[in-house]
Structure 1
Amino acid sequence: MGGKSIGKSLLCLGFPVSIFFIVINEFCERFSYYGMKAVLTLYFTRFLHWDENFATAIYHTFVALCYLTPILGAIIADSWLGKFKTILYLSIVYAIGQTVLSVGSISDLTDRNQDGSPDNVAVNIALSMVGLILIALGTGGIKPCVSAFGGDQFEDDQEKQRSTFFSLFYLSINAGSLLSTLITPTLRASQCGIHAKQECYPLAFGVPAILMAVALVVFVIGSKMYKKVKPQGNVILEVSKCVGFAIKNRLRHCGKEFPKREHWLDWASEKYDKQLIAQTKMVLRVLFLYIPLPMFWAVFDQQGSRWTLQATAMDGDFGFHIQPDQMQIVNPILIVIMVPVVDSLVYPLIRKCKLNFTPLKKMTVGMFLGSLAFVAAALVQVQIDKTYPVFPAAGQSQIKLINLGAVPATVQFQPELPTVGVAPNDATGYMTFETSKLQSLHIISENASETVALTELKENRYTLPFKLSEMKIKWDLIEDNITSKPASGKSLVRFINNFPYPINVTMGDTNFGLLDSLSVSNYSDVPKPDMTYIINISASQMPSCRVVSKTFGYGGAYTISINSCGGNELNITYFEDMAPNTVHMAWQIPQYFLLTCAEVLFSVTGLEFSYSQAPSNMKAVLQAGWLLTVAVGNIIVIIVAGVSTIKKQWVEYVLFAALLLVVCIIFAIMASFYTYIDPNEIEAQFSKQEKEEDKKDQDDNEKGAEADSRM
């Protein structure tokens, strides 16, 4: 054991004062981790401009690392540094990683385009990846140490206080998760930047970095109060060595005559004692059941990737606007509500019905509910897909006609393609044509006509504004360069100048520049699509003129025609190029509810089952195995996202649902062959055998000594 602790004599409400530092540290660390993680997928897609599959793969690579490094942290703490120094050193690494990630998200590190967006994000990517690797090492490395370090602060006669501490500890985890998932997406959605106002990722990552620094400072302040247990060797390494020796010894005797062994692990008996071998057997029986479990985590951890991306195409208006990455808050809220409800109502009711709802059966039902959650996600995705615009396929072009004149017009597509009528100050939708068949179009309005050549069209969307002016048709052909929903999740706006002279257009703080007559500006994000803005124009030929815009909603695209000015009141017309999101985010709640039910049945029960079936000194081995299943589950998502050729997202959801259902059936079959044991009884039997053997040895020694005295 470690040296004498000051914390033993300092008590507050019957608790060691040191544990309050540990609880505050955990709250700040979890706020830091979950806050950063909540906005990570959107950072990849919106700031680094990665496609959704690659962003998903990198996100799950990071999560997998976070659940692989705890094994390393446990070995370092138990074998060399001890828990205190491991937490201290890796927290420093953690804080540095958060800081590097925050700095890496600053857009002004690189060259910029005219709109202020980063032109080359190589520096941002490099810093972001270094930051994430350091964070994974830090958060994973301290994960197995902090709760155990808190438990070390109590004396043997403080079991009740220790139990209360763990409740406070897990409450701090949920509180940190809830608050950060609510706050950091709001920080992300705010506008910042020197050269252009963009989503504020430096702030969204910077606040978690500050919280991690606070966590480190708080932990250090309590240093002199902690009881610090010296490293006592790592049981994970002992079990690994025992298993390795058994396999090596068995292979060495392959093909030779040897005494028969009841179990392959008995081949380790030449070097290791029987109790360690028996305990290892118990652990391996449980670890064998862990083999199908990664598939559940492959589904569960997509809340932060695929489900967040799904929410970007949905309407978040709940009377107040919910950011797509804030929907993840539904899970911790439901956990806080459901765990006590299930423990105090559901399970007692099941027992009253005399149903044998064993832990493994609970886990099986949890996997089944996880599969249903992804079926629900697929149904929601089908509805979202129905609202998506149709973009040109290979070999196709799309053209939208806008008549900015005061008289109707007829447009004839050549050769032998349809004729379209366009009313004054009106527009068609995007019309799809085979690019090779489009040669020209002929605009006729009153006594004027004009032919527009289309031989240079690409496979893209085009807008063709035109108007009759001074008995002549004026027109312009604009390549839209918009082939997907806005990557920012906001709405896009552009302006057409319907004045006969150039005008300067601004909307809020965004300047769209000087537009010639009938020319069109580039699309620009609406900073807050649920707000109205002042649209203002100015020109040398006229005084400034303005109007209040409508609210644009999220996920849409609009062309606004600047028509005329009367009494300083601007007359404009809205043309909807892409409909805003219409499927409400509330439709994600059923899938979150099903997945949270699955988590309560699977995760909470799984940990309790594992601990109940493990020897008292080997619970850390099962904790490491459990965390490893989470890492492997995320690796499964990486593989699917990397190699999948599935184009429809709902099909991928169904695929994961089907895979989890198959694994659920396999797990149910494996569970049916499992026999529950009481490790304490087995350990007691070994203890009794050791006492009997010691007594026998003592008796033999006494008889030998007696015989020697007679000689």
Structure 2
Amino acid sequence: MADVENKKSQKPKSTVLGSTISIFFIGIDEFCEHCIRSMIPLFLRIFFNWYDLTTTVHQIFVALSYLTPIFGALIADLWLGKFKTIVYLSIVYVLGQIVLTISSIHDITDSNQDGIPDNIPIHMALSMIGLSLFTLGTGGIKPCVAAFGGDQFLEHEKKKRSIFFSVFYFSMNAGMLLSIFIRPKLSAHHCGIHTKQLCFPLTFGVPAAVMAVGLVVFIVGSRLCIKVPPQRNILVKVCCCIGFAIKNRFLHRDPVYPRRKHWMDWAEEKHDKLLIAQVKMVLKVLFLFIPLPLFWALIREQSRWIFQAEHMNGDFGLFVIQPGQMQTLGPIMILVLVVIMESIIYPLVAKCNLNFTPLKRMTVGMFLTALAFISAAVVQLQIDRTLTDFPSANNGQAKFINLQNKPMFVGAGEYNFPLAPFEAKGYMNFDKPFHLNLGSGSEYLVNVMKKSRSSIVIFQDEEIVKAVMFSDASAKPWNGENKIRFLNGYGLSLDISGGVQSFGNVSSNDMSHYIYIPQGEAKFLIRDDRGEVCQYNLSLGFSSAYTLIIPSTFTFERCKESIIAEMDISPNSVHIAWQIPQYFLIAAGEVMFSVTGLEFTYTQTPSNMKSMLQAGWLFTYAVAVIFAAIFPDAWRLQVQWAEYILFASLLVVVCIIFAINARFYLRAGVMPPSP
């Protein structure tokens, strides 16, 4: 009863302040964690040239950040209590950020001032120490902050506590969203004493300063918070109770002994009924957690939606959304839906007298997540209908361009076709070398490389008709950008530029290299040696490729009419807005599942083991991360929409398993107090 009496004795204290501090602190934590975590892969690649190890190292530290909550929970529930654990591990957290910041300062060991550290092992050791401390700190405080906030409410304040966990989750996603917007601004800076490089010290140092300030605010405001003391030997008691029950059941396995209602009842000979009841509660909750690692592993696959967005059109007219920016939609929708669910949906359901229990909410959340992947599959089917047919591993493709100001007839292997002046024809598939017949005795043996695309340009060189092959773009450009190049059929060399980029001086009957141009109105300047200049404008969509043909009839006075825009890869046509339903469904599912899960885990466990069960909740996510790291291609399919359907099907299976487990979950009435 000591714990309950402790809370009652502190009833006059401000519980609002304690919960507010927890909400503020978790927002700070999420902001700092995502700022640093998102920069780690780039830091390892650029600073240490770890191109092959980057993904593995990053996944290891992500997994550890969800395993270390067990360590933090043990300290909180058995030794220091939640408040001191948060403070001490936050100091470790900040120290890790400081060490990581120091490790990223290349000038420390750059004695010859060439911009390259002279002693990479020192930087490597510091970065690993910093990352380890950072991981221990951020993981260790995760279960304690939520449980500490929940402790600020008395037993009769269930509604306030429910609102707290919603606002708590709101704060987590607000911090994450803030990091998405601020981190690119930090990482865009260059700094250094001798040479200017990407400013990793700024990117790591700012979150360290923010976390330090947040820790000070947390400590200063904590004097009015409820601090539940730890039960120092509770874990030992639980383990002994479970061990004795198993041992006693084994010794009394003979049918002559009467059966007991629950296998933990075999511990009654040695342990009191209160402890046995508490252990039963913990085991029931842990039993519900069994399917969660698979659920989290599938949820992580929504990261593939970014690649889906790469094949979509993000032009909304008044503004443009780049494919990589769609990931911000998830946190934004979560912020909105947390408010809507808590202020409108749940109260409305309660007024309708529907028995919408926490476990039912979580089940519905899982089902909505499955629907999100079905929506993604439908969108993918629409995208697949518009995708360019690229060559396979068994063939290559070739396009034929007539750069002459006269029609001609071409024979290319089994293909025979006419070409008008300055016309392009293709792409055609070739699985072996072929004879190219251009008439007038001009014949070539052409070998198109497999899995590649080429343009065969046909032009008149004095009395001979010649053909030259150029490599083409063989895949969609990423990040919504467009690949543009020029084919000069004009009689003179031309200097061509696009914005700040230059195609260089393109000789007659030659092809320039590709340059990347973003979506929008592109402007190109074309100059010749005589000083004549013209501007050519081209409206570009997303992820296309063009060969801009300058024919022999080109004139600077009629620049736009003279140039022929030959499309090599068509722009994305399916609008990115079709992804909104899937982001809405998965955000709604996450709010109903995760927010409710946090609250359920807190309320359904004894007060002396709340941090431990919060850590158990986070541990299920760690298992999912480890699984993804060990088996990265566990459910890869060649057809993307079929892969999304597979994810949806597996989520439905997880949903059914969880619903069955929830059906047999028996709540033990009023939760017994801690001894």
State the TM-score, normalizing by the size of structure 2: 0.79
Does 2:467 align with 1:475?
A: yes
Q: 2:381: which partner in 1?
A: 382
CA distance in structure 1 between the partners assigned to 2:331 and 2:274 by the alignment: 41
Unaligned runs of 5+ in 2: 3-12, 107-113, 115-120
Q: Is the 8 A contact 1:24 1:215 kept in 2?
A: no
Report which stretch shifted further, 254-263 or 653-662.
Answer: 254-263
Specify the code of the residue in structure 2 equivalent to 1:485: K
Matched ranges for 1:217-296 at <5 A = 217-220=213-216, 226-227=222-223, 232=230, 237-238=235-236, 241-242=239-240, 245-246=243-244, 249=247, 253=251, 262=260, 263-265=262-264, 273-296=272-295
Distance 1:494 1:271, change over 3 A: farther
Aligned residues: 637
The partner residue of 1:422 within 419, 422, 435 is 419
Distance 1:619 1:24, change over 3 A: closer
Does 2:431 align with 1:443?
A: no
Distance 1:326 1:458, change over 3 A: closer
Specify the code of the residue in structure 2 equivalent to 1:331: G
Q: 2:545: which partner in 1?
A: 557
Structure 1 residue 87: Cα displacement: 0.9
The partner residue of 2:454 within 438, 458, 462 is 462
Specify the code of the residue in structure 2 equivalent to 1:440: H
Q: Is the 8 A contact 1:182 1:326 kept in 2?
A: no
CA distance in structure 2 between the partners assigned to 1:45 and 1:648 by the alignment: 31
Does 2:304 align with 1:306?
A: yes
Question: C-alpha offsets along residues 26-80 of structure 1, whole Å, 9 cap, x if unaligned?
Answer: 44432233456678899999999989xx999887665443322222233345536
Does 2:561 align with 1:566?
A: no
SS across alignment from 1:555 = coil
The partner residue of 1:433 within 421, 430, 435 is 430
The partner residue of 1:536 within 525, 534, 540 is 525
Question: C-alpha offsets along residues 136-174 of structure 1, whole Å, 9 cap, x if unaligned?
Answer: 444323323445567889999999999998787655434
Matched ranges for 1:593-672 at <5 A = 593-638=584-629, 641-672=632-663
Q: Is the 8 A contact 1:476 1:518 kept in 2?
A: no
Structure 1 residue 591: Cα displacement: 0.8
Report which stretch shifted further, 142-151 or 460-469.
Answer: 142-151
Specify the code of the residue in structure 2 equivalent to 1:33: E
Distance 1:219 1:45, change over 3 A: closer
Q: 1:6: which partner in 2?
A: none
Does 2:491 align with 1:495?
A: no
Q: 2:94: which partner in 1?
A: 91
Does 2:477 align with 1:486?
A: yes
Q: Is the 8 A contact 1:376 1:590 kept in 2?
A: yes
State the TM-score, normalizing by the size of structure 1: 0.75
SS across alignment from 2:607 = coil
Distance 1:434 1:156, change over 3 A: closer
The partner residue of 1:576 within 567, 573, 580 is 567
CA distance in structure 1 between the partners assigned to 2:533 and 2:365 by the alignment: 62
CA distance in structure 2 between the partners assigned to 1:610 and 1:403 by the alignment: 71
SS across alignment from 1:500 = coil
Structure 1 residue 586: Cα displacement: 0.9
Q: Is the 8 A contact 1:235 1:620 kept in 2?
A: no
Q: 1:694: which partner in 2?
A: none
Q: 1:589: which partner in 2?
A: 580
Specify the code of the residue in structure 2 equivalent to 1:219: L
Q: 2:7: which partner in 1?
A: none
Distance 1:476 1:60, change over 3 A: same
Report which stretch shifted further, 517-526 or 340-349.
Answer: 340-349
Q: 2:117: which partner in 1?
A: none
CA distance in structure 2 between the partners assigned to 1:677 and 1:155 by the alignment: 19
Report which stretch shifted further, 269-278 or 36-45.
Answer: 36-45
Q: 2:67: which partner in 1?
A: 68
Report which stretch shifted further, 231-240 or 136-145.
Answer: 231-240
Distance 1:66 1:163, change over 3 A: same
CA distance in structure 1 between the partners assigned to 2:643 and 2:376 by the alignment: 10
Structure 1 residue 374: Cα displacement: 0.8
Report which stretch shifted further, 201-210 or 83-92.
Answer: 201-210
CA distance in structure 2 between the partners assigned to 1:549 and 1:132 by the alignment: 49
SS across alignment from 1:429 = strand
Q: Is the 8 A contact 1:497 1:561 kept in 2?
A: yes
Report which stretch shifted further, 265-274 or 388-397.
Answer: 265-274
Distance 1:589 1:542, change over 3 A: same
Q: Is the 8 A contact 2:485 2:514 kept in 1?
A: yes
SS across alignment from 1:542 = coil
Structure 1 residue 14: Cα displacement: 10
